[in-house]
Chain A
Amino acid sequence: MSRPVVVATAAAAVVVLVAPYLTGTYYQQLLAQAFLYAIVAVSLDFVWGYAGVPDLGHALWFGIGALSVGHATTVLSDVGLVEEVHGSFGRYALGTVAGVVIATALAAIVARLCLSSRRTNDFYIVVVTLALATAAVTVYDQTPALGGGENGLFGFNLQNVTPLGWYYITAALLAVTVAVALVVVRSDFGLLMRAVRDNAPRARYLGYNDVNVKIGVFTAGAAVTALAGAVFAMMTGVANDGQFSFTLATSMLVWVAVGGRATIVGPMVGAIVMSLAGAKLNEHFPAQWTIIEGALLIAVVVFVPGGLIGPLVRLAGRLLARRYPPRGRTVTAAAAARPTGDSGGGRPVIRIRDLVFGYGSLRVLDGVTLDVVAGELLCVVGPNGAGKSTLTSVITDRRLRAQGEVEYLLQGHRLGARPAAHEIARAGVGRKFQIPSVFASLTVAEALLLAGRRGAPPSPWRRSTSVEVAPAVVDIVRIAGLDGRADTLSSDLSHGLRQGLEVAMTVAARPRVIILDEPTAGLTAHERHDIGRVLEHLRDIGIAVVLIEHDLDFVVRVSDRVVVLHGGRVIEDGPPETVRGSEVVRSAYLGTAVR
C-alpha cells in the first residue's frame, strides 16, 4: 500500500473511532445499522459488480438471517404473537449459524439452477431472484407460526450490549468485510471473477469452470448478507417481512449503483450515506423518499453508469498512481522451458471415430474418423461449410450431443464419457476461436496469467506481479506486436492485436493439443510467416497442433499432414503434397460437387 492510502485509512479509522462521542445514541444506532447495510452493499458488489450476477432479491438472504435469529429466540402463540423471549447465548448463536447455513444452502441451489453455462443473459437470474424475494414475503405473511406473519417478530434484541457497543461491533465487522473484499478483488482470483464476468465461454476454454465461480461468489455473498441480517436482528430485536422485501432489495441495488459497481469502497459509502439520508427523510416524507430513491436509481443507471462515489475513488487512485506508480505486471519467459508436450511424438492423443453431428436434419459432420498425433502439425482444410469449425466445437466440448467416439489419450488425465469444455481444456486441449474473444477488463499480462494457470484455482489473496510463460508465448507476444503492452487493457487492443493475444493465451495454457481456428485471418503475409514459425516450434516440442486454415499455400508450407473435410466427411488424409495434387480435393475446393 502506498503512503497516502495508509494515511487515508488511518484517518478514516480515527474518524470512525471518535465519531460516536460527538453524537448521541440515536446516531450511534443509525450508524450501526448503516454499517450493516454497508456490509450488505459490499457483498452485493461482489456478486453483481465483480462476478456479474445481478441479484435483484438480495434482501432475501438478509431476511433469512434476521428471521432465523428471531425464530430461535422467541416462542410464538398459535396466531404468531411473541409470547416469550429466550435470549440465551446459545440461541442467538444457533439462530445466527442456522440463518447463515440456510441462506447458503438456498443460494447454492438457486445459483445451481439459474447459472448454467447455457444461459448467457441476465434475464433468468434476475427474474428468479426477484420472484423468490416476492414469494418469500408472501410466504412470510401467510405463515404466522414461522415469523409472526405481518406483525413480524420483535423484542428479542440482545440485552447487554449498548448502542455504543453495537456501533463498534458493526464498525469492526464492516472493516473486516471491506478489507477481505479488497484483498480478494485485487488477487488472482479477482482476475478470474472479472474474466468470467467479461467472457464466460473463453474462461471455460481456458480450463475454468465459470459456472462454479459464479455459484461460489453468489453463495458467499448470500452467506455474508445473512450474517449481517442476523446481527441486525440481534441489534434491533426486530424481524419482519420488510427485511425480505423487494423494497429493501431495491435499496441495496441503489446503494451499489450509486456507489459505483465493482469498486467495493463506492457501494460501502453509498450504503452508509443513503441509509442515513433515507432514515432521516423517511421520518418526515416516507412517500417522497421512495420517489427520490427511484429517481436516483434511474439517474445513476442512465446518466452516470459508473456511479457517483466509485469514479471519485478511481480518480483518487489515478492521481495517486501518478505520484506512486503502481507495480504493473511483467511477462517473462519461464527460465527452464519444460517441454510441454508428450515426449515421443507420433503417439495419437485424440482419436475420433465416426463422429456425427447436426442440427435437425442437416448433418454438419457425417462420420468423421481422425487421429490427432503428438508432435505433428495437422491442417484441416476444406471448402466453406465442410464442418471444420463444428468439428472443433464438438471435440472441445463433449456436452454437445454428437454421436460417435472421441477418445482423449492425455497422460495423467482421466476424462469421463462426456467431459465438459473446461475439463477438456484442463486436460490439455487448447482452443483458439475464429473470432478473437478476449477479457475486456483484463490487461494482456492478466489474461496470460489466467491462461497460464490452465484452470488451476487462483489464490484468493495473492496478487502475482510477474507472469511466467513458456518461451513460445513470448515469441508470439513479440510477433503479434504485444510486447510493451503487458499493462494494456484487452478492450483497448485492435482486432489484429486481439488475434495475437488469443493465440498467446491458448499457448500459455501449456496445452498438449492445440486447435487453432484460422489464426492467420486478417494477418499479412509477413505475419503469417511468423505465426507459421511459432506453430512449427510448438510442433517440435511435442505438441499436437491442429490448424484450421483456408490459405492452401500456407498449409502446404507448414503442415506435416493434411485432412480434407468435405460435406462433413474426411475425403483425403495424407502428406500435403499428395493432398494438393489430389483431383478429388481440387474439385472439392473449387466448389464442384463430389459425391
Chain B
Amino acid sequence: MSADTTSAGTTRTLDLRVRDLDAGYGAATVIQGVSFDVAPGEALAVVGRNGMGKTTLLKAIMGHAARTAGAVRVGGADVTGRAPHRIVRLGVGYAAQEGNLFADLTVAENLQAATMHARRGRTAERREEVLAYFPVLKQRLWQTAGTLSGGEQKMLVLALALLREPRLLIIDEISDGLQPSVVDTVGDVLRAERERRGTSLLMAEQNVDLSLRVADRVAVLKLGRIVSTVGSTDAGVRDRLMKELAP
C-alpha cells in the first residue's frame, strides 16, 4: 500500500480513468457525470447507500450497463463501449455482486474456468496461492458451487477474481450479507494481495470499516454523483463517512 510498492509494480498494475460517465437502464440515468481516477497501485472505495448507483457504475465501467456518455480508460487504453471480455483481457478482474460464479459447476471447475485466459504456467502455482487465502474452499473443491453457503460463495467469487492475477481489481459489495468474521478475512486477503502484487483496486462498498481498512481513498456516491472524496487516514474520516451515509 505504500508508494514504493506501487512504483515497483507499475509494469504489473493498471490505472483507471473515468471521465464524465453517464449510465443507466432504459430511460433512467442512474450515473450522472461521474469522473475519478484510480492511480496505478491505488485502492479506491466507492461507498453509498442502496440505490445510489454503485453497482451501475461498476457495470458501466465493465461494459455491462449502457453507457450514454463519457469515457473509461484502463491502463491508457480507451475501453469505452468495448465488450467485457476485452476489458478483462487487459488484466482487469471483476467480481460482480450477483451472478458471479458458475452455480452448476463444481468449485474446481469454477477455478479452472476463471483461468481460461490467464497466462499459462503460473496457473497451478497461483491456484495454490489463492486457495491458501481461503482454506475452506479447498475442502469444497468437488461440491457444486450453487450449494455452497452464501459466505463460501462470496469467498469463491473473490478467489475467482484473484486467480487471474488481475492488475486492476474491481469488486462490487463483497461484504453484502457476510458475517463479520468473513468480512475481516476478505479485508485481510485484499490487503495481502495489494501488498504482494500492488494491484490497483476499485471497490463498491456499504461497509465503511472494510473500505477504510482496504482503500487509500474513499469516494461517496449519492444519487449517481460523487459528492466527496476523502483519504482513508484523514482525521475523523469514519465519523464523517457515517454521517454521509446516514439517511
Tell me the interface secondary structure of chain B in the complex: loop
Given contacts A522-B206, A526-B246, A552-B180, contact A385 B151 (CB under 8 A): yes
CB distance from A351 to the nearest CB of B (A): 26
From A362, A518, A521, A590, name the one whose CB has the most chain B CB atoms within 10 angstroms: A521
How near does chain A come to B11, taking the closest CB pair, in angstroms? Answer: 37
Residues in A whose Cβ lies below 8 Å from that of B173 = 522
Question: Quick one: which of B51, B55, B177 contacts A518, CB cutoff 8 A?
Answer: B177
Residues on B with beta carbons closer than 8 Å to the beta carbon of A290: none
The one of B50, B98, B151 in contact with A384, judged by C-beta atoms closer than 8 angstroms, is B151
A522 to B247, CA, bound (A): 14
Tell me if A411 counts as interface (CB < 8 A to partner B).
no
Chain A residues whose CB sits within 8 angstroms of the CB of B182 once the complex forms: 384
Q: Which bucket holds chain A's interface residue count?
A: 20 to 34
Interface residues of B in 102-157 (CB under 8 A from A): 136, 143, 147-152
Q: A524 near B206 (CB under 8 angstroms)?
A: yes
Question: Does A138 make an interface contact (CB < 8 A)?
Answer: no
Chain A hits for B181, CB < 8 A: 383, 589-591
Asked if A527 is at the interface (CB within 8 A of a chain B CB), the reply is: yes
Which chain A residues border B136 with CB–CB below 8 Å? 591
B245, CB-defined interface residue at 8 Å: yes
CA distance A526 to B49 in the complex (A): 11
Residue of A434, A494, A525, A550 touching B179 (CB-CB under 8 A): A550
> How would residues 500 to 537 of chain A score, 1 for a CB under 8 Å from any chain B CB and 0 otherwise?
00000000000000000010011111110000000000
- Taken together as a complex, chains A and B put the C-alpha atoms of A362 and B177 apart, in Å, by 24
Distance of B241 from chain A, by nearest CB (Å): 11
B153-204 residues with Cβ-Cβ distance < 8 A to A are 173, 176-182
Distance between B139 CB and nearest chain A CB, rounded to angstroms: 11
Interface positions, chain A 229-283, Cβ under 8 Å from B, are none
Known contacts A495-B55, A499-B50; decide if A383 and B177 are in contact (CB<8 Å).
no
- A492 to B51, alpha carbons, bound, how many Å? 11
Alpha-carbon separation in the docked complex, A524 to B136 (Å): 29
Q: A384-B150, A386-B149 are in contact. Are A521 and B143 (CB under 8 A)?
A: no
Whether the pair A523, B50 counts as a contact (CB closer than 8 A) is yes
A494-B50 contact given A384-B179, A434-B177, A524-B247, CB 8 Å threshold = yes
- Chain B neighbourhood of A492, CB < 8 A: 28
Known contacts A522-B50, A524-B247, A550-B180; 11 additional CB pairs below 8 A are: A362-B147, A383-B181, A384-B179, A389-B149, A389-B150, A494-B51, A522-B173, A524-B245, A526-B246, A551-B180, A591-B136
Kindly list the 10 A-B residue pairs having the minimum CB-CB distance in the complex, ordered from nearest.
A384-B151, A496-B50, A494-B51, A385-B149, A384-B149, A550-B179, A521-B177, A496-B51, A522-B50, A590-B181
Q: Please list the residues of chain B having a beta carbon within 8 angstroms of any beta carbon in chain A.
A: 28, 49-51, 55, 98, 136, 143, 147-152, 173, 176-182, 206, 242, 245-247
20 contacts between A and B (CB under 8 A): A383-B181, A384-B150, A384-B151, A384-B178, A384-B179, A385-B148, A389-B149, A494-B50, A495-B50, A521-B176, A522-B50, A523-B50, A524-B247, A525-B242, A525-B246, A526-B246, A526-B247, A527-B247, A550-B177, A550-B179
